[in-house]
Structure 1
Amino acid sequence: MTVAAVQAEPVPGAVAGNARTAARLVRRAADRGARVTVLPELFLPAYHPPTLAADPAGTDVAADPDGRVDDPRLAPLCAAARDGGTAVVVGAAVRHPDGRRTISSLLVDRTGTVRVGYDKQQLWGGERELFQPGDRGATLLVEDWRLGLGICYDGCFPEHGRAAADDGAHGYLCPSGYLAGSAHRRDLYYAARALDNTMYVVFANAVGGTDPWRFNGGAAVYDPEGRPLARAADDGEEVLVVALDPAALAATREAHSMLVDRLPDQGRTRTASAA
């Protein structure tokens, strides 16, 4: 299966314009055969806390009780997914019927239908002042592939990626928003999640912006040993398209069998006295 990791710069608060940008990038990915295209965290409103705080009504999309999103601003993106035959994972600020506001990944399926795919569980820093955390993981099924969903800070926790692997994930999709100055952690966390769990990792990141909300790109797709199959520069727009190989996945898991060798009481400790 072929996937795409997108690196791009959205405009703060411009949901309709950012949806058009996303549509253009999704078409680029689909033209190169992508069956799943991943865009950065909060791409639709842009990751810009001052704007998200000042204009929640304008920056949020609303979900119905079944998690469906029907927002005319997303029409170009829906058309691009439908025309290109690619599922799209794109970051959004979502208002739920119970009033919760979450950092979420929307799933635009190949019919152009939009649903909330996953709500970010691990909120970072000031995000806690604007959003509520999700309470469960999620796995996306595409053809014969199981793809766990995470968002940015989720991927900093080994347990999150392992929960996806425990649910049978072959890959882990991580829309993110890494700031300038964080390149070391950006390049370490997601490679580690790939190797920890012998699964592919698709890391999409924002780029551009103005300090202190300036983002550092570096979008990448990692193989199940944590090696980059493709990586973008720290600036500029990019669409990385990579074919995931089930044979390579199987061979890696046979050679590096951490998932099956893990002890059932892994990490349990006891205290001994030296007295």
Structure 2
Amino acid sequence: MTLRVAVGQAEPAVADIATNVGLAADLTARAGAQGARLLVLPEAFLTGYHPDAFDAVVAGGSPTHRDLDGPLLAPLREACADSGCTVLVSTPLVTDDGRLRLAMVRVDPEGRGAAVYAKQHVDRSERAWFSPGDPAPVVLAIQGVRVGLAICYDTRFPEHAAAAARAGAEVYAVSAAYLEGSTRGREVSLPARALDHGMYVVAAAALGPTGTVGATGGSCVLDPEGRELATLGAEPGIAVAEVDLDALAEVRSRQTMHADRML
């Protein structure tokens, strides 16, 4: 069984959710035209990963969980329905307990939007705005493939990916923002998470200003041994690759680190 997956990146407009929903819809249409059935987009894509955007959402400009089936995401829901592609897109979101979190939203081909994950490991630079999410792993079934969810800093903690793998994840989907001077974490952590657990990694990385330095892009799809299947540089675009569950099973039969884990 295979699933064609895509990562997308573009420079979002700071604090302009309507414009960024349109960008997400365009990337969805492009991914769907290449046969992708899952598209992952970067961290805080709907607002931009920027202090001004985060200040704006704290001041009342954040979507809430009630907005996800309303007009705000209508262009993206339509693009998903037209393309047959499920999208995982990150945004600041007021969740049902009233707290502001860095969330991941799933929009499916039936046109439904739902908050499915909130960033567990909130970086110190983000704590002025965001609360951490529930520590339980989240694994979704998408087109018959089990997809574990992560947002950026989560991937630096090996136990996060381990929990997703124990919950059955075959793919580790990551929304991220890697800033200039901090890309080493991406270069080391993502291949390690793939190799540790025999999981595909599908990681979308932000572009554009972040208030101090720029976000570097570098979205990628890695195979279960950490090798690049598809990658983007610092330019907008999408990259597409195949997740092959037969190949995954073969890797896991040879690389048994996850099965051998004692803790």
Q: Structure 2-normalised TM-score?
A: 0.95
Contact in 1 for aligned 2:88/2:106 (Cα 8 Å): yes
Stretch of structure 1 that moved more, 47-56 or 2-11: 47-56
Q: 2:5 aligns with which of 3, 6, 11?
A: 3
> Aligned pair 1:12/2:11, yes or no?
no
Name the count of aligned residue pairs: 260
Structure 1 residues 130 and 245 mapped into 2: Cα distance closer, same or farther (>3 Å)? same
Task: Tell me the SS of whatever aligns to 2:225.
Answer: coil
Contact in 2 for aligned 1:29/1:239 (Cα 8 Å): yes
Task: Tell me the SS of whatever aligns to 1:129.
Answer: coil
Q: 1:53 aligns with which of 49, 55, 72?
A: 55
What percent identity do the matched residue pairs reach?
42
Residue aligning to 1:106: 105
Residue aligning to 2:193: 193
In the alignment, the residues of structure 2 paired with residue 14 and residue 29 of structure 1 have an alpha-carbon distance, to the nearest angstrom, of 23
Contact in 2 for aligned 1:5/1:38 (Cα 8 Å): yes
Shift of 1:46: 0.8
Residue aligning to 2:120: 121
Shift of 1:7: 1.6
Residue aligning to 1:273: none
**C-alpha RMSD of matched pairs (Å):** 1.4
> Aligned pair 1:170/2:166, yes or no?
no
1:126-165 equivalences under 5 Å are 126-135=125-134, 136-165=136-165
In the alignment, the residues of structure 2 paired with residue 55 and residue 144 of structure 1 have an alpha-carbon distance, to the nearest angstrom, of 35
Runs (5+) with no aligned partner, structure 1: 267-275
In the alignment, the residues of structure 1 paired with residue 213 and residue 47 of structure 2 have an alpha-carbon distance, to the nearest angstrom, of 14
Contact in 2 for aligned 1:5/1:202 (Cα 8 Å): yes
- AA of the residue aligned to 2:88: V
- AA of the residue aligned to 2:96: P
Contact in 2 for aligned 1:59/1:93 (Cα 8 Å): no
Residue aligning to 2:87: 88
Contact in 1 for aligned 2:58/2:129 (Cα 8 Å): no
Task: Tell me the SS of whatever aligns to 2:63.
Answer: strand
1:196-211 equivalences under 5 Å are 196-209=196-209
Structure 1 residues 110 and 57 mapped into 2: Cα distance closer, same or farther (>3 Å)? farther
Residue aligning to 1:271: none
- AA of the residue aligned to 1:173: A
Question: Which structure has the bigger radius of gyration?
Answer: 1
- AA of the residue aligned to 2:138: A
In the alignment, the residues of structure 2 paired with residue 115 and residue 213 of structure 1 have an alpha-carbon distance, to the nearest angstrom, of 32
In the alignment, the residues of structure 1 paired with residue 249 and residue 57 of structure 2 have an alpha-carbon distance, to the nearest angstrom, of 47
Residue aligning to 2:96: 97
In the alignment, the residues of structure 1 paired with residue 53 and residue 257 of structure 2 have an alpha-carbon distance, to the nearest angstrom, of 44
Residue aligning to 2:183: 183
Task: Tell me the SS of whatever aligns to 1:175.
Answer: strand
Deviations 1:179-204 (A, max 9, x none): 11122221111111000111000010
In the alignment, the residues of structure 1 paired with residue 28 and residue 206 of structure 2 have an alpha-carbon distance, to the nearest angstrom, of 15
Runs (5+) with no aligned partner, structure 2: none
- AA of the residue aligned to 2:72: R
Q: Following superposition, which runs of at least 4 residues in structure 1 exceed 4 angstroms of deviation?
A: none
Task: Tell me the SS of whatever aligns to 1:123.
Answer: coil
Deviations 1:120-165 (A, max 9, x none): 1000122111011111321110122100000000011000000000
- AA of the residue aligned to 2:244: D
> Aligned pair 1:22/2:24, yes or no?
yes
Q: 2:35 aligns with which of 28, 33, 36?
A: 33
